[in-house]
Amino acid sequence: MKKDILLTTLLVFLVIMNSVLLFLVVKPGKKTSRPSKTMIADQLEFNEAQLVKFEIFNEQHHQKMQAIDGQSRMLKEQLFQNLEKEAFQEKALDSLAERIGVLAKAREIELFHYFDQISAISNDRQRRKLKQLIAGALRHRPPGNPPPPHGPPPPHN
């Protein structure tokens, strides 16, 4: 009798805990949407002439980033399609990983050029504000991209 009560209590507890866990995993969280394409222009308070230039290279930047991301996604799909293949050689793995790395480099370079173009059409006040925006974005990195270390850790005594 006592075993039945203990097992029933344990079973009810586990069902409740699983339900809570399931709710926490499945519930829609606070979604972070990408800022609008004009967020930077709004923050920097571009005038009409600056806005026209910004819209031109912003569209070009968007197209380049989509192309890079599409190529990267395709290579990653190729890479992970070979997970179950025993004959997949290390050389092929290295080749795909290297090509993905080249695209990651191209993405960072394109991003740098994009902000360089923004800086080029900005006045001094806007450049300072842009620098603050970039610094803020770097501080709020997505998970999995830790900030660079700020020197060696303090010694343990």
Q: Left, alpha or beta for 69 (phi > 0: left; psi -120 to 50: alpha)? A: alpha
Token pair 């002439």 in the structure block, residue: 49
Name the residue among 53, 68, 51, 74 with its Cα closest to residue 109.
68
Residue-wise pLDDT tens for the chain (157 aa)?
A: 677 787 788 777 777 877 777 777 776 655 444 555 678 889 999 999 999 999 999 999 999 999 999 999 998 888 787 777 666 677 777 888 899 999 999 999 999 999 999 999 999 999 999 999 888 888 875 544 444 444 444 555 4
Contacts of 44 (CB under 8 A, 6+ apart): 50, 118, 122, 126, 129, 130
